A and B are shown apart, each in its own frame.
Chain A
Amino acid sequence: MSKKILAGGSLGALGLAILVSILFSTPAHTQEPAKKAAVDQTATGEGKNIYDKYCAWCHGEKGAGDGPGATYQIPRPRDFTSGAYKFRFTPSGDPPLDEDIFKSVAEGFPGTSMPPWKHALTEKQMWAVTHYIKTFSDAFKDAKPKKIEIAKQISPSKESIEKGAKLYKDSKCWECHGDEGRGDGPSAKDLKDDWGNPIRAADLTQPWTYRGGSTHLDIFRNFTTGLNGTPMPSYADTNSDEDRWHLANYVRSMAPEKDPSVATLLSSAPVKGPIPDDPESAAWKGAREGFLPFMPQIVEEPRHFTPTVTAAFVRSLYNDDEIAFLIRWSDPTESKEGTAVDAFALQFPAREGEAGTKPYFLNGDEENPVMVWLWKHGTAGAVDLLGKGLKATGPNPKPGTFTKTVASFNKGEYKLLVKYSIKDRPQGAVSFAPGGFIPVALQVWDGGNGEEGSKKGVTTWTWFTLEKPTPVSVYLYTVLAVVGAVVAQGWIVRRVRRS
């Protein structure tokens, strides 16, 4: 492997590690505000020292969100000069409470580059920096932000969730967030933040990407205050306290209670007879689903720092003739025409002899090429490509056969089913033998976000295995073991009684 590849690979792995740690760090749960520590509130005190040392790299010396570290961060680091803070307990348009800023410093924001500082700084230091941050904006000068009242929580009963569902419709939340919450509503396209940067409506089905935390209270607060600096408005005046609790309960119910964890091993389950084409069939519903987050492709030019698709959910089934993958992912826009279309790719090592090693994760290289199964929206079906690097990927001279490609886009979610013929695979290609371990990597393009070519979301390699069909002997051994244990126990009991 060449040096460049090593560097690229480790950079990618590092990126993934960071991304994963960001995505799955403990979310910033809303809690009682910390007590204010007595600190020096002047601009030249301890707060400035801490800020200059730890915060200025991203947020800029003067707090304008323009530090050298800000260049490629999405979302951009907060610009403190306007006094607009997204997550607060104050009314729409008002600056935050001191406690709100303190909490942001202490807890950080999941899904962003802002880490929780409570592990690195003392409470006193965090208060000092809180006061220093306020000096960047005039918004705090003549303002006395008042805390909003949090009405008594309504428990997320079935009835409350149903009420919330109706309110979601009536209050037109779907205009931006979509009918099923995937951020694909008709008004989601042209959204901009206060700084004129494009901004996406949150995918409510993925609470691990909510920046401001995903508890019911976090969601209730967001409805009440709106997110300053973004198009998310306040509903405090148009929906009652109870209504906002019902809404919070409904929104939280759109997502699984527990965030998925990143799959370290994807698996394919054997089926007898044909593999069903219908994703809703019992065989597919019963298949284990693996969750893989994407990271931006920032290793090779042209790079892409802002991919839309955050993650994919992968299932697989196989029989003697075929192996099939069923993948679903959220994408707010359907694009099937023009140069940038929605697309998805699976990568495997190209050769059977190298099935146990991981090639370079961006389409392989000359020594360890990869097989790329590429599906592009608007085309007849998946195609088999041979990759020897991002810029050296083309039609596989000995292509495999896809017996079926079924793709659907519905309410912001793609479902892609690809069937590959194991039986008719080209000579030397990966055999997908049961029991073995094969690395797999994914790539995704959102055409609506101008993603094409190397501008895409990528994963590094994850192990994939075909579960062996359970042989009859396994059942036999199990039965024998149980019988044996019972006999042995009886013998021991008898001996004990005798003595």
Chain B
Amino acid sequence: MKNASRFTMGAIAALFLAASPALAYEAADVKDGGSLSGTITGGPGKAGTIKVTKNDDVCGKMVADESSKVKDNKIEGAVVTIQGIAKGKKADTKPAVIDNAQCVFVPHVQAAMVGSKIDIKNSDPILHNSHAYIGGKITTFNVALPNKGQKVTKPLKKAGLMNVKCDAGHTWMKAWIVVHDSPYYAVTDAKGSFKIDNVPPGKYKVKVWHETLGETEKEVTIAAKGAAKLDAALKK
């Protein structure tokens, strides 16, 4: 009786695990994969600096404000994600990286796949305290990195928008990690452009998000071996 109930519990747990989003994605060979590329535009940008109020001997007096990097109307650091792909190319097995360097998070914005890992590093000889939230307010990890050269690896367990702050008095330190349910994501470069390849042919919803300049959703059709274009303008 006891064993039977234990077995049932195990089966239920297994079901639960199978249904959890981390394991929902299936890696497979992509036949006739197409690509999606384009440019994200919008603005206005802001090329400001933020005053450093603590540890300025290490951080410098000012750090760059990376919250809206725009050049010629082209947005850097927008995240493009293709929605609803449950089976496709193999995800990158290397952990994502976020470094505390000169009192800013590097990179400021990135995307990663749910179920993968992230290395949180400290390149500064001072305390940083990387505190990550998912969905704006729920702590997903909170690790102290008191010394230079330290590295902590944490799993990215849930899909969603993560923001990272530093609780060591560096109120200006901010970073964003879009944790996506498939490896079909990209972050725009300094020219506002992105490219996602090896996409199974089909019709998809595509989300474009930027931390301060807004977000939008578009529909695209990617033909077999095709090269689809998506240019989107963000509005606040």
Residues of A within 8 A of B (CB): 82-84, 92-93, 139, 142-144, 170-172, 175-176, 186-187, 189-191, 194-196, 226, 228-229, 231-235, 237-238
Contact = CB atoms under 8 A, between A and B. Distances in A.
Given A172-B146, A175-B127, 10 more contacts: A82-B138, A139-B138, A142-B16, A175-B169, A186-B54, A196-B137, A233-B144, A234-B142, A234-B144, A238-B145
Contacts of B168: 172, 175, 187
Contacts of B167: 176, 187, 191, 231, 233
B143 A84 contact: no
Interface in B140-165: 140-147, 150, 152-154, 157
Contacts of B117: none
B139 A171 contact: no
A233 B131 contact: yes
B169 A237 contact: no
A142 B126 CA distance: 36
Contacts of A186: 54, 169
Contacts of A139: 138
Contacts of B154: 92-93
B159 to A, nearest CB: 11
A195 B139 CA distance: 10
Chain A interface helix/strand/loop/mixed: loop
Interface in B112-133: 126-127, 129-133
Contacts of A92: 139, 141-143, 154
Interface in B7-21: 13, 16-17, 19-21
Nearest to A187: B169
Contact of A142 (B21, B132, B145): B21
B171 interface: yes
A237 B127 contact: no
A82 B137 contact: yes
Nearest to B144: A233
B142 A228 contact: yes
A79 B22 CA distance: 26
26 contacts: A82-B137, A93-B142, A93-B154, A93-B157, A142-B20, A143-B157, A144-B13, A144-B16, A171-B146, A175-B127, A186-B54, A190-B169, A194-B133, A194-B138, A226-B142, A228-B142, A231-B131, A231-B142, A231-B167, A233-B131, A233-B142, A234-B144, A237-B153, A238-B143, A238-B144, A238-B152
A96 to B, nearest CB: 13
Complex A-B, nearest 3 residue pairs according to Cβ-Cβ distance, in ascending order: A187-B169, A231-B167, A172-B127
A35 to B, nearest CB: 15
A170 B143 contact: no
Contact of B137 (A93, A172, A195, A232): A195
A231 B132 CA distance: 10
Contacts of B19: 142
A238 B129 CA distance: 12
Contacts of A172: 126-127, 144, 146, 168
B10 to A, nearest CB: 12
Interface string B67-91: 0000000000000000000000000
A92 B171 CA distance: 21
Contacts of A191: 167
Contact of A190 (B133, B141, B171): B171
Contacts of B152: 237-238
Instruction: Count chain A CB atoms within 10 A of each CB in B17, B127, B145, B171 and give the residue with the most.
Output: B127
